[in-house]
Structure 1
Amino acid sequence: MDEMNTLRLIRRDRRKRHLRVLSNMRIQMRHLRDTSNPFEASGMVFRGLYRLTKDLARAAIEELRPVLAVGQRVTHIRIEIKVLCALHFYGQGSYQRSVGSDSQGALSQPSVIRAIKEVTEGLNSPQILGNWIKFPRWQNERAEAIRKNYQATGIPGVLGYVDGTHVAVKAPREEEHLYFNRKHYHSINAQIVCDSDLKITNILSRYPGSTHDSFVWVNSGVRERLMDMWAMGERCWLLGDSGYPHEPWLHTPILNAEEGTLEARNTRYHIKARSAVERCIGLLKGRFRCLLLGRKLEYEPRKACQFINA
């Protein structure tokens, strides 16, 4: 009986010491987090960590401040740290534990999960997503977009360029087969529209990887908007590759055109112009590496779609 009591006392003492060590570590990490200033890093180091310049990061923080909840507890995490934590995750494509162990953040894994969730949902809010990713709404805006695209490509009437890109995700539990694409991995098929300046004007990240680009296009809001413009007598169009259906408001290249003909010349101009959206997608994935094929978003599809938008 005495031996059993002794063992209980030893275990209780070990647990108390362990809890004291954890408490001290939390205090030290919290102190490091609250006293650190990531903006003191050099511009090159900062951009390597967060994939944005300091000015752009500050602008993102101020943009998100109204939509992110302000912590009421004394130990709450500053909005600046939350946003930088999410930017680090988007930019590096690494797992949350390594994001939290970053010396600039000093966050536990649960804190990292909450920070990424809050910032991602904030970036998907209508007042932010709709403010930055918007298709030309008014006729004068469309006329300006057409003018800029004509100066860049020499093709009249072009409002933008459309293409699809696959973002790898983990196999979902439900309807897993729908996300298995023709390249033999699970993904979201995201449709992107951009202009000659590589500015994204529309994005549709809703459909699973097995969905063909043409199906995504036919069920997209941007197609409906173009159809309405044509119904009103406004003649403009997007350029897409041969995977899309040729429509009055969507021009695709003329395949197997005989060399030296107007059709072959049109196809050369078309391919050169449409390369803008391919460059746009390449730059997007190069900047925010969580979208790269080799990184795979370890989230269920709905959350992965929010990451793509963000």
Structure 2
Amino acid sequence: MAGIVHRYRRRYHQRVHAECPKPLEQYTSEELYARFHFGRDDIKYIADLVRPTLQHQTQRSHALSVEEQCFITLHFYACGTFYQVIGDNMGVRKSTVSNVVKAMSVALGSLIKQFVSFPKDDQTAQTKHKFFQMGNMPSTIGAIDCTHVHIQAPCEREWEYVNRKGRHSINIKLVGNADLILTNCVVKWPGSVHDALILRESALYRELQSHRPNGIVLGDSAYPLLPWLMTPFSVANTPEQERFNSSYCKTRCAIERLNGVLNRWFACLNYLRVQPKVACNIFLACIVLHSMATRRHVPLDDNFDGPEPDVEPEQPSMFLPNEGHTGLAIRDAIVRNYF
């Protein structure tokens, strides 16, 4: 018996791969729109945009196609539920959903300059005309606001992300036009950072300060009064100032409507259970998708109930005093000439 050698053969279990659903084949256009907020041609267009980045270089038989990655990510953006739920619906694991959403968000976010740009000289006339049609505010080329995207408590520098309401968030600067299209954004600052500081440190501020635009941008009371940035009168003492404030509110509501569209269209933005860097990439991706949707005339939810009375309580002293004096003179001139 001592000379008998026992040999054991390892038994390999064949891996079973779940079949990933093929929404383009199994859903109608209405069902695609309901689940992913985009139609068949739009999804194909999105897949072609990110294909150079996401196309697998390997020949693995069970690698997800670019189209499948698009469906997983768009489903998450649209409903904002847990990765596990998305995975169960799409026939993949939770970890796969996480990896796909991260990769897809980076790929889409890298296209931001292609889809978001401030109006050039040859575009300002049309921009001004559309803003004027909204509320009779002259020479308006943009409306600015900041919005907070709530996130889970980050692992590092957690206190920096606590906003004035005591929640963890990313504070994001948005500039839009009358057609609810984003023309500028800054997506990187923790929730504790003031709106005015985000503007002061932005490339847009440096550009508009050094090359004064032929027009004005409308901001709320969280922002300073600058030669190219108009804010409302805190107290309207004359009928002309009252008319200015009324026109200001009707015109600037475009950016508040735009922010509302983003949050309703991409439900994931209501609360992101991810770390700050991933949250920023997801928001950038949603901005790109929104801009793409407006260009392709995808119907967006634009139900607006009115502006939210939520502005930063006090403005830090971070701008030069003479900037405010010049802005005051320009605002008075607008009131005198137009209202």
Task: Give TM-score, length-normalised by structure 1.
Answer: 0.84
Q: How does 1:7-18 map to 2 (within 5 A)?
A: none
- Pairing partner for 1:299 from 256, 274, 295: 274
Report the counterpart of residue 108 of structure 2 in structure 1: 123
Deviation readout 1:223-260 (Å, 9 max, x if unpaired): 22211221xxx4312101111111111101111113x5
Structure 2 contact 78–267 (Cα < 8 Å) conserved: yes
Q: 1: CA distance between counterparts of 2:81 and 2:182? A: 25
Q: Report 1:88-237 matches (<5 A).
A: 88-102=75-89, 105-125=90-110, 128-136=111-119, 138-230=120-212, 234-237=213-216
Q: In 1, Cα distance between the equivalents of 2:102 and 2:174?
A: 23
Residue segments in structure 1 that go unaligned for 5+ positions in a row: 1-8
Q: Which ranges of structure 2 fall in alignment gaps of 5 or more residues?
A: 1-7, 286-339
- Specify the alignment match of 2:332 in structure 1: none
CA distance in 2, matches of 1:262, 1:183: 36
TM-aligned CA distance change 1:39 to 1:142, over 3 Å: farther
2:152, 2:272 within 8 Å by CA — same for their partners in 1?
A: yes
Distance 1:39 1:147, change over 3 A: farther
- Matching of residue 276 in structure 1 with residue 262 in structure 2: no
- Supply the distance in 2 between the matched residues of 1:251 and 1:226 (Cα, whole angstroms): 13
Deviates further, 280-289 or 39-48:
39-48
In the alignment, which residue of structure 1 is the partner of 2:65? 78
Q: State percent identity of aligned pairs.
A: 29
Name which of structure 1's ranges 158-167 and 111-120 shifts more when overlaid on structure 2.
111-120
Kindly state the Cα deviation for residue 197 of structure 1 after the two structures are TM-superposed: 0.4
CA distance in 1, matches of 2:181, 2:267: 18
The answer on whether the counterparts of 1:50 and 1:84 sit within 8 Å (CA) in structure 2 is yes
Q: Which residue of 1 aligns with 2:52?
A: 66
In 1: Cα distance, 2:71 partner to 2:243 partner: 48
Report what 1:261 is aligned to.
239
TM-score after normalising by structure 2: 0.77
CA contact (8 A) 2:132 2:251 kept: no
Write the distance in 1 (CA, Å) between the matches of 2:41 and 2:25.
Answer: 10
Q: Is the 8 A contact 1:240 1:250 kept in 2?
A: yes
Indicate if the aligned counterparts of 1:291 and 1:308 stay in contact, CA closer than 8 A: yes
Distance 1:286 1:37 in 2: 23
Question: Is 1:285 paired with 2:260?
Answer: no
Of residues 270, 280, 284 in structure 2, which corresponds to 1:309? 284
Give the letter aligned to residue 234 of structure 2: L
Shift in Å at residue 119 of structure 1?
A: 0.7
Report the equivalent of 2:224.
245
* CA shift in 2, pair 1:54/1:36, >3 Å: closer
Q: State the superposition RMSD in angstroms.
A: 2.1
Give the secondary-structure state (helix, strand or coil) at the position aligned to 2:207. Answer: helix
Structure 1 segments, 4+ long, off by >6 Å, are none
Task: Kindly indicate whether the alpha-carbon contact (under 8 Å) linking 1:142 and 1:159 is maintained by their aligned counterparts in 2.
Answer: yes
| Alpha-carbon distance between aligned partners in 2 of 1:142 and 1:280, rounded to the nearest angstrom | 19
Q: Kindly provide the amino acid, as one letter, of the partner of residue 115 in structure 1.
A: V
